[in-house]
Amino acid sequence: MLGRSMRHIFRSMDTIITVTVMPVALMLLFVYVLGGAIQTGADNYVNYLLPGILLVAIANSIGYTSFRLFTDVQRGIFERFHSMPIARSAALWGHVLTSLVSNAISVVVVILVALLMGFRSPAGVLSWLAIAGILALFTLALTWIAAIAGLSAKSVDGAIAIAYPIHFLPLISSAFVPTRSMPGPVRAFAENQPVTSIIETIRALLSNRPAGHEIWIALAWCVGIIFVAYIFAMRAYKRRA
């Protein structure tokens, strides 16, 4: 099931462009066009920007996950798989694992481009492993949200609509500028939504600084969203199955 879904991704040029090329283009834009006008207090703006771009890359893929699930539902693919001697959940988990693998590839590509742009990090192996774990949890959280939309939607537009509000979360956060520069209501939202705590945790780990309480807030957000979204996604899947 993983191989099947991955082949769909590699054969879809628009998916590759949106998930990998667009975050890289956004990073180039902010560093080389807008970076000189943004005051973050960091010596190297790409170091400040990278954590947010990694989350943007993951968020960009969510619409495709829900779209692929919706397509399988509409074509009756799940019913065909359920008639075979495989676990009933295999088809769904194939999409979930595909999201993890494809986003891992996108994240690696973005980091490699950032290195070419001057990104440097003193983080050790344990810090990088912690970053990988947090990104994997964030991916799972968004994937299970996308699964709810893909399994419950009545149309293609409804399936991919879940991606639009998720795209705004990294934009209204500390991904591109410090939250202290934002107006009061916007700052309050930015500082109390899950993306900011995740970004600040990754930024601290990349700088080899203590993450403090932010890492526990980030983990609580990710695990909580996964738990709730998984329950609703499995209910939607059982109704479809």
Q: How confident is the model at residue 42 (pLDDT cuts 50, 70, 90)?
A: low
Query: CB of 55 within 8 A of CB of 170?
Result: yes
Query: What would the pLDDT profile of 158-215 be if each residue is shown by its tens digit?
Result: 777 777 788 888 888 888 888 888 888 999 999 899 999 999 999 999 988 888 888 9
Query: What would the pLDDT profile of 53-77 be if each residue is shown by its tens digit?
Result: 999 999 888 888 888 888 888 887 7
Helical residues (DSSP H) of the chain, grouped into ranges: 2-10, 13-16, 22-29, 45-60, 62-75, 77-82, 90-116, 125-152, 156-160, 163-171, 184-191, 194-206, 214-240
Residue 226 has pLDDT above 90, yes or no: yes
Helix/strand/coil for 44: coil
Encoded tokens for 6: 């991955």
Query: CB of 56 within 8 A of CB of 106?
Result: no
d(CA 158, CA 173): 26
Short-list 190, 62, 63, CA closest to 138: 62
Residue 241 has pLDDT above 70, yes or no: no
Burial (Cβ within 10 Å: 0-12, 13-18, ≥19) of residue 40: middle
Short-list 99, 84, 73, 89, CA closest to 6: 99
Q: Name every residue whose Cβ is closer than 8 Å to that of residue 234 and which is 6 or more positions away in sequence.
A: none
Q: Name every residue whose Cβ is closer than 8 Å to that of residue 237 and which is 6 or more positions away in sequence.
A: 89, 92, 147, 151
More confident residue, 9 or 125: 125
46 residue type, one letter:
V
Query: CB of 156 within 8 A of CB of 241?
Result: no
Q: Which of 29-33, 39-43, 141-145, 176-180: highest mean pLDDT?
A: 141-145
Rounded to a whole number of angstroms, the CA Rg of the chain reads: 18
Q: How confident is the model at residue 222 (pLDDT cuts 50, 70, 90)?
A: very high
Burial (Cβ within 10 Å: 0-12, 13-18, ≥19) of residue 37: exposed
Start-to-end CA distance of the chain, whole Å, equals: 17
Which pLDDT score is estimated for 13?
Answer: 72
Residue 93 has pLDDT above 90, yes or no: no
Write down the pTM of the prediction.
0.88
What are the structural domain ranges in the chain?
2-240
